[in-house]
Structure 1
């Protein structure tokens, strides 16, 4: 709780500054609509194209003048978080209306738009291929574009080096080596992102996947997004293609700052990166546990469990959300294992969701420190170190706050689904998948899901992508009402 002294220091966000930086994010974001507009025009699906053209015109009319306004480079933390939350919310709404041009109901269009922009991959349209190739391409492209532009380095593209970009790095949305740097970092990351996409596409084609299907799935794999052109997801593809796409998703869940270090003289240290080793260890652990649960429960033969179980576990851990096995057919034990994996997620500074590996390390570090202090004399001092560095109290508070908000949000959403009569384990699985921006479904996300529950999952997807705190800051009255700066 704020003390009287600290309340005096509270300053409201400046609407003009928020609008300026929001507009600068919107200009490169327009590419998420521009490319599908051209593609749908070329194949004659004009319903999406003309709506996208209208939205792009509105963006240009509003964003260009706002972006030209001068704004201070010293961006307050509440302003940075407000911009982050607003860009995901407004981008989802802007994409939703063009998607109705494919024949989607408004609530389903909103759901697909939010799932695409947040790189989640949940869907309520059933067989997506029934809506045409233009729809399939638009969803996959938006996920790939959002994965790079917004989640990975979008902020570094539009914010100058200095205090403003550092504020965004501190928000937890990106990695300090990426977002807090210069446009050179953004260009280097773009090279890595495109190189990963190209390599994954070549490997997927070599695995026997048809070109258009390969392109769609690679877009959603590298962005750890998970949209598929098949109702049964990647289970419809050859096993080799499934394996390639799952590996591509895992590569997308690794911090892009690590890829940069691999190209420098520090590559030896990069291979010993604690977060990377922990991510790989989680993949191995959950793969082994899931194979054992599948085999013991009789859900699959031991050979089938050994072939497809690790693919599903890694897909959950990387928050890609591809389904080599339909989660709806699994036993409760398997769903709990996958829920734990989805909750943890991938690295900070990657396209993955979840609470992130670094925060798992914080929890483990606190547990280790608590055990250590039981063996120390009363006057001894021991600090918390993560990845070899001392964790400052403020950073620890932010990490614990994010973890707590994830758990509270998941619990509240789960309760709503339980009150709606959804089976408990399926409800928990779906909520964690949405909040972790994963995309695996226990069969709850479907065309006949109640509109209110669809919108709740949309809120969970946005909250999970902005790590909840940014959304709370946007709704916090002192963010907008109070003393000016």
Structure 2
């Protein structure tokens, strides 16, 4: 057999059981607020749990537990799709989003931590369903940690190997024996930071329900909010708390772990983190100065708006504190560029990732030197360590394919009578898992007006971007399906 279908089915069954269990967590919320959505949540949870048990029962007699690379590619992609299909059930059954295309779009936007939404009146949605909406992002963020730690390096996805080398307790030659121990550490960190933010938001004056939901979607760098206006009109202290945790969520979780262990030398010797920190600071200064000149607002207000939106876009969280498309044409272009940056490898952030940009620029400058000294050996170095040439090639291929997918996506979306600006913004923000874009999908708008075909296209782009392109594109290769 080309694929170990029984093991694949068993893992998908486990994912459905986890999914159904998280759905059940929404039931107390619904009952507490006395809303009608408890029936939809209960039904969805039973269907999902039942499907998971059935799948595990069918595949109970496994011949082998060994997974090959082909199995890995199939599990990752199929897992996200299956989770999204079943995750859409609460929306459909409750009538909050009765249309399947819209419900699937909202769900995959959640699991991929994109944050693009088709809901026009979020505050009218029952609290139980809103909590499930936030949980989909939190589940997706937690899944990305495991994906980056265990699966992508195994599949040879460039850039992720650099993260693995930094993971606490892991060495490249002893990845598998330590993987469970490391995953537990990072999960505890993920849960702990989520709770810490929820408590901080509560004491800053946010309603407990809103505090929990926003902490779930902040640490996932997802950006789903329980309010129509996102975080535009909240207390400045709340915005600063969210900024801090957004930045933390966009940082490699292994570095955060080292920081909590007071190993600050490890943190500040990490080149990706230094670039991430410096880039955020420089862009924030540029935006702040521009706002002071153009909008004539108080310094603190301009600085806070600038810092919030810069961090939100770089980390691909997508929360909104102001309509940045109305500030100045120059800033609209700058923020569009930020859609292609992404956070750190090993974080919940989407996008290209800072480490890939560092490798690209370093290799480009070295190429100029190589032209003058063709015989010299000049490896790309990250944090003082030479990067394997195979990883450099993988990173360059990733960025080239990313640009190609972006252009194809814009072309296809434009063919559906979507205007140029909106097509550029929608494709960039979906592929980068950011949320808000430009045009009709700007920070104060949503994706409800997209044609049905466009929503399915953008859903596919969200999945492509979240799973690092190669994981999904590999399944489209005829070579993948050949017997070997």
**Bucket of the pairwise TM-score, normalised by the shorter protein:** 0.7 to 0.9
Q: Which moved more, 1:404-413 or 1:286-295?
A: 286-295
Cα deviation, residue 331, structure 1:
4.3
In the alignment, is residue 311 of structure 1 matched against residue 308 of structure 2? yes
Q: Which residue of 1 aligns with 2:25?
A: 35
Q: Deviation per CA, 1:228-282, whole angstroms, max 9, x where unpaired?
A: 1112211031121112112211111111121233355844222321111111112
Question: Contact 2:12–2:52 at 8 Å: present in 1 too?
Answer: no
Cα deviation, residue 330, structure 1:
4.7
1:269–1:282: structure 2 CA closer, same or farther, 3 Å change rule?
same
Question: Contact 1:155–1:168 at 8 Å: present in 2 too?
Answer: no
Cα distance in 1, alignment partners of residues 179 and 424 from structure 2:
40
Cα deviation, residue 170, structure 1:
4.8
In the alignment, is residue 233 of structure 1 matched against residue 230 of structure 2? yes
In the alignment, is residue 48 of structure 1 matched against residue 41 of structure 2? yes
1:51–1:301: structure 2 CA closer, same or farther, 3 Å change rule?
same
Question: Contact 2:29–2:127 at 8 Å: present in 1 too?
Answer: no
Q: Which moved more, 1:170-179 or 1:184-193?
A: 170-179
In the alignment, is residue 373 of structure 1 matched against residue 370 of structure 2? yes
Ranked by relative contact order (alpha carbons within 8 Å, sequence separation 6 or more), the top structure is 1
- Once the two structures are superposed, the pairs formed by residues 1-80 of structure 1 within 5 Å of their partners are 12-41=2-31, 43-44=34-35, 45=37, 46-66=39-59, 69-73=62-66, 75-80=67-72
1:263–1:284: structure 2 CA closer, same or farther, 3 Å change rule?
closer
In the alignment, is residue 202 of structure 1 matched against residue 196 of structure 2? no
Q: Which moved more, 1:94-103 or 1:28-37?
A: 28-37
Q: Deviation per CA, 1:274-307, whole angstroms, max 9, x where unpaired?
A: 11111111211222233344455x3674644333
Cα deviation, residue 12, structure 1:
4.9
1:310–1:355: structure 2 CA closer, same or farther, 3 Å change rule?
same
Question: Contact 1:286–1:341 at 8 Å: present in 2 too?
Answer: no
In the alignment, is residue 407 of structure 1 matched against residue 403 of structure 2? yes
Cα deviation, residue 34, structure 1:
2.8
Cα distance in 2, alignment partners of residues 390 and 293 from structure 1:
39
Question: Contact 1:38–1:49 at 8 Å: present in 2 too?
Answer: no
Q: Which residue of 2 aligns with 1:8?
A: none
The secondary structure found in structure 2 opposite 1:182 is helix
Q: Which residue of 2 aligns with 1:387?
A: 383
Cα distance in 1, alignment partners of residues 267 and 90 from structure 2:
43
Q: Deviation per CA, 1:87-121, whole angstroms, max 9, x where unpaired?
A: 11111111112211232122221111011111111
Q: Which residue of 2 aligns with 1:153?
A: 146
Q: Which residue of 2 aligns with 1:257?
A: 254
Q: Which moved more, 1:61-70 or 1:182-191?
A: 61-70
Cα deviation, residue 365, structure 1:
1.0
- Once the two structures are superposed, the pairs formed by residues 265-344 of structure 1 within 5 Å of their partners are 266-295=263-292, 298=294, 301=297, 303=299, 304-344=301-341
Question: Contact 1:335–1:429 at 8 Å: present in 2 too?
Answer: no
Cα distance in 2, alignment partners of residues 155 and 380 from structure 1:
34
Q: Which residue of 2 aligns with 1:126?
A: 120
Q: Which residue of 2 aligns with 1:426?
A: 422
Cα deviation, residue 225, structure 1:
0.5
- Once the two structures are superposed, the pairs formed by residues 209-224 of structure 1 within 5 Å of their partners are 209-224=206-221
1:195–1:169: structure 2 CA closer, same or farther, 3 Å change rule?
farther
Q: Which moved more, 1:117-126 or 1:420-429?
A: 420-429
Q: Which moved more, 1:188-197 or 1:15-24?
A: 15-24
The secondary structure found in structure 2 opposite 1:340 is helix
The secondary structure found in structure 1 opposite 2:88 is helix
Cα deviation, residue 41, structure 1:
4.9
Question: Contact 1:434–1:464 at 8 Å: present in 2 too?
Answer: yes
Cα distance in 2, alignment partners of residues 292 and 13 from structure 1:
57
Q: Which residue of 1 aligns with 2:103?
A: 109
1:136–1:474: structure 2 CA closer, same or farther, 3 Å change rule?
same
Cα deviation, residue 62, structure 1:
0.9
The alignment's TM-score, normalised by the length of structure 2, stands at: 0.87
Q: Which moved more, 1:173-182 or 1:268-277?
A: 173-182
Question: Contact 1:291–1:305 at 8 Å: present in 2 too?
Answer: yes
The secondary structure found in structure 1 opposite 2:454 is helix
Cα distance in 2, alignment partners of residues 348 and 169 from structure 1:
14
Cα deviation, residue 140, structure 1:
0.8
User: Would you say how many aligned residue pairs link Structure 1 and Structure 2?
Assistant: 463
Cα deviation, residue 147, structure 1:
1.0
The secondary structure found in structure 2 opposite 1:344 is coil
Cα deviation, residue 436, structure 1:
1.0
Question: Contact 1:23–1:67 at 8 Å: present in 2 too?
Answer: no
In the alignment, is residue 88 of structure 1 matched against residue 80 of structure 2? yes
Structure 1 unaligned blocks of 5 or more: 1-10
Cα distance in 1, alignment partners of residues 454 and 73 from structure 2:
26
The secondary structure found in structure 1 opposite 2:340 is helix
In the alignment, is residue 97 of structure 1 matched against residue 98 of structure 2? no
Cα distance in 1, alignment partners of residues 336 and 77 from structure 2:
25
Cα distance in 2, alignment partners of residues 242 and 15 from structure 1:
47
